[in-house]
Amino acid sequence: MNIIFFGAPGAGKGTQAEIVSQKLNIPTISTGAIIRAAIKAGTDMGKSAQSYIEKGNLVPDEVVIGIIKDRLGEDDCRKGFILDGFPRTIPQAEALDRMGIKIDVVLELFVPDDEIVTRMSGRRVCPKCGATYHTKFNPSTAGENCDKCGDVLSIRKDDAPEVVKSRLVVYHNETEPLKEYYGNKGLVRTVVGQEKLEDTTKLTLEALGI
Ligand code: AP5
């Protein structure tokens, strides 16, 4: 199954995508995670993307389209994949179509903007293995350390409240029109994000029919 996870920043795409990825044994491809890894490694792409990410703006289309084209060409994508955070603009979706990639489902996770701001303020991430937690809704059993690899958890720079607000504006202006783009193809299934993570998972698996 080729799945797109779609929704506002902080709607829970990464959290649910990870669960579905394990269940279906297919990779999750997160453009955000790929770009953050490039920034950490200090590559040319990372250096040029850093200022966009930190201000909550989108990285230019040609950069992310190149990332996706390379990644989807890898062997582990042959039996299916989850795209988390791509496409984010109409030109990105059109580029995906031109690559000849068939999408089976676009899973929208809907969470209202005011809830998003609360969620982002409690997000903690592991800089080493990429695991995501929430201080209240999904805490690490190891406190301020990652319960998967033990590293000290950190706060993403783009989770600062003023950056979250800009990311939401960018989402509504540039990414939300994709709902109509894929809606016209009959591919969109919407799940309303629940306060309990496992309730959202149940609805997500039902919507995907797995
Ligand atoms: P990216 O990393 O993709 O960020 P995002 O889409 O903004 O999404 P997030 O990772 O912030 O949130 P999420 O929906 O995955 O939520 P999560 O599961 O973590 O992109 C970052 C940046 O990279 C962009 O701003 C842009 O600059 C650039 N970029 C990336 N892709 C690009 C592209 N295609 N084009 C151009 N630029 C691109 O959950 C959030 C929190 O809520 C967590 O703490 C979690 O534990 C908690 N939570 C999850 N589910 C629940 C629940 N049900 N109840 C309560 N809490 C919950």
pLDDT at residue 50, rounded to an integer = 96
Indicate if the pLDDT at residue 195 is higher than 90.
no
- Rounded Cα distance between 132 and 130, Å, is 6
pLDDT at residue 23, rounded to an integer = 97
Global confidence as pTM: 0.94
- Tens digits of residue pLDDT in 76-96: 999 999 999 999 999 999 999
Cis peptide before 87 (omega within 30 of 0): yes
Helices (H) and strands (E) in the chain, counts: 9, 7
189 is annotated as an active-site residue:
no
Distance 163 CA to ligand 1 centre (A): 13
pLDDT at residue 208, rounded to an integer = 97
Is the Cβ atom of 156 under 6 angstroms away from ligand 1?
A: no
- CA separation, residue 12 to residues 131, 172, 177 (Å): 13, 17, 19
- Tens digits of residue pLDDT in 63-77: 999 999 999 999 999
For 141, half-sphere exposure in the C-beta direction (CA atoms, 13 angstrom radius) is 3
What confidence category does residue 7 fall into, taking pLDDT thresholds of 50, 70 and 90? very high
Distance 186 CA to ligand 1 centre (A): 25
Nearest CA-CA partner of 104 in 3, 209, 34, 173:
3
Q: Which atom of ligand 1 is nearest to the CA of 122?
A: 44
167 is annotated as an active-site residue:
yes
157 is annotated as an active-site residue:
no
Percent of the chain with pLDDT over 70: 100
For the residues 153-176, what does the mean pLDDT come to?
A: 96
